[in-house]
Chain A
Amino acid sequence: MEELDAQQINRRFEVTAARRGFNQGWYALVGFGLVLLLLQGWGEGGSGRPPILGILLSWLVVFGLLGAGWLRAGRQRQARKTITLAWERVQLEQWAEAEEALNTAMRRPIQSDADRGQAFMVMATLAERRGRFDQAAYIYERLLLGRIGDGYQLQQTQLAIANAKLRNEELTDAVTLLDHLEKLSMPRALGAVYALIRLYQQVFMGHNEDAVAELSERRSLFRRFLSTRAGYGYGLLAAALHRLGRHDEAAQFWLDATTLIPAAKLVAEYGTLLVPCEGYPSMEHPG
């Protein structure tokens, strides 16, 4: 996995930036070609008919530009396909393939903001996978400052920054950001992601009473919106309950967590889950 510093990340932002003037320039050139064609068509050469060379050139300009536009659209379709492939590989935890696809997609400008945002989200996820939460936070910040991506992606990015800062132990910044996010209205699915990040912050900072204050609400939220990732929430709740001496509940939550996600993976993601992992029986995943 390739290590990237801030300068290399900046370079990727520059390379993938869309050329905003291209569309307007292209439309203007097509218009100019059409006007030229009309003038040539109605003009008159010395032999009593329009000059054939001029007309041929005008046609060439118009169709050349239309062809260029078509090729460009094709390149963008290909870029979208490659970025989608990279995202799919991330979902399936095929990290090397994800990185390969991402590197291919990031070699040239990406016209769509949503696609470009998605590409950098993949890049940040790969950085998180390496444990480089500082790099991930930097990527998220650049996405947010450049307002790259659609509205939903930008809200996701804010949550991702909070998570990355927390994981990078920039606790003051992380808590300030989480407090700010708490006041914003967001879709319930993102609300569940927020709740998971907040829960980790509370468990990590030892605010165990706060972590289990709304136990059943949190559990329902995770279950409804986080699907398999609810396992991380259950694991963190098990850790908080364990510290509070509520061992029966902790054991049940840990069993649920490990039914969804293997214990080793839970501990690899959150080191703080080592204690419940060692203290309670985990679900064995058959086959």
Chain B
Amino acid sequence: MSGGEAHRLIQTLRRQFLLASLTRSILLVIIALSFVFGALWRADAAYRAELMWSISSVAAIAWVVLTFYSVRQVRAAHQASGFIASGRLDLAEDKLKSTIRQFSLYRNAKLLACHHLAVVAHGRKSYQAAAELCDGMISLPGSPPMATLRTCRILLADCRLLLGDVVAARQAIAPLKLRGPELNLAEQLLLLPIELRCQITAEQYDEAAESLAWKVKRAELLDSPTAGLVHALLAIAADHTDQLQIAAFLRRRADLYHGLAELAAEHDFLRDLAPELVRTADPTGLPG
């Protein structure tokens, strides 16, 4: 998926939300007016009263049917997340695109689908498209649910970092507090490497080295390559804040998790930020 296609999908989403709001308002007005007039109409206008009741009933039934239709779209989005988990990103992408293009009376199904599509685009290394989708969701009128908004911001920051735009990445995660009570553990684990990278790139070593034990505890829960990266970044922060013994320990751990040479090969910015880290790396990538 290209950035242009993602942009068009966001435009579609905006139109769909507007249409859904209009439909809800119209149905609500029809139901309310028909119900009131149907109840108040005089006995000599029986035909019109009956017509009003019928219109009211049909509008209500249309609402219920459209609600069920929206529930099916939520299920489709969940099914797509199953495809994502099993690595079938192509199937997930098709399913999610069609879900976004279908009409829904409610926003949540579409937001969920759009969020999953951004995850798919990120997984397929279409970072520009994923960033467009996340950016679009964040700027949608009437903010998405907070949890979706938070993961969108984290995903957007990651995409911006991968596209080399550190300033935009910092802006994306600015409203999020790593140690704030609103972030659950999964979100903390997603945010930690991104925030650290932003801080280290901006030479904010004191901030990066804050709550070091807390950060190391979370880093231990990450997968090996990410745990290695976070330890390497924390080692850089510790080095610059004169915690040399801790820095050496963290470097050693980073090497055990993923190998400093491998980390340097995978993340160009590490070579620029800490050439000494790469120089001390074991060329085999294996410790010991």
Contacts and interface: CB of A to CB of B under 8 A. Distances in A.
Interface of A: 30, 34, 37-38, 40-42, 44, 47-50, 52, 55, 59, 62, 66, 84-85, 88, 91-92, 152, 219, 223-228, 230, 252-253, 255-256, 259-260, 283, 285-287
Contact of A285 (B67, B184, B249, B288): B249
A227 B224 contact: yes
A227 B212 CA distance: 19
B53 A50 contact: yes
Main secondary structure of the interface of A (DSSP, over half): helix
Contacts of B50: 42, 44, 49-50
B38 A49 contact: yes
17 contacts: A34-B64, A49-B38, A49-B43, A49-B53, A50-B38, A52-B39, A66-B64, A91-B185, A92-B185, A223-B224, A224-B224, A226-B224, A230-B224, A230-B256, A259-B249, A260-B253, A285-B249
B246 A227 contact: no
Give chain B's interface residue range (CB within 8 Å of chain A).
35 or more
A66 B64 CA distance: 9
Contacts of A219: 286
A36 B81 CA distance: 38
A92 B220 CA distance: 10
Given A34-B61, A228-B220, A41 B56 contact: yes
A34 B56 CA distance: 12
Contacts of B253: 259-260
A209 B144 CA distance: 58
B19 interface: no
Contact of A259 (B184, B213, B217, B256): B256
Interface string B233-270: 00000000001011001001100111000000000000
Contact of B224 (A50, A55, A91, A225): A225
Contacts of A37: 57, 60-61
A219 B38 CA distance: 77
A228 B61 contact: no
Contacts of B39: 52
B111 to A, nearest CB: 15
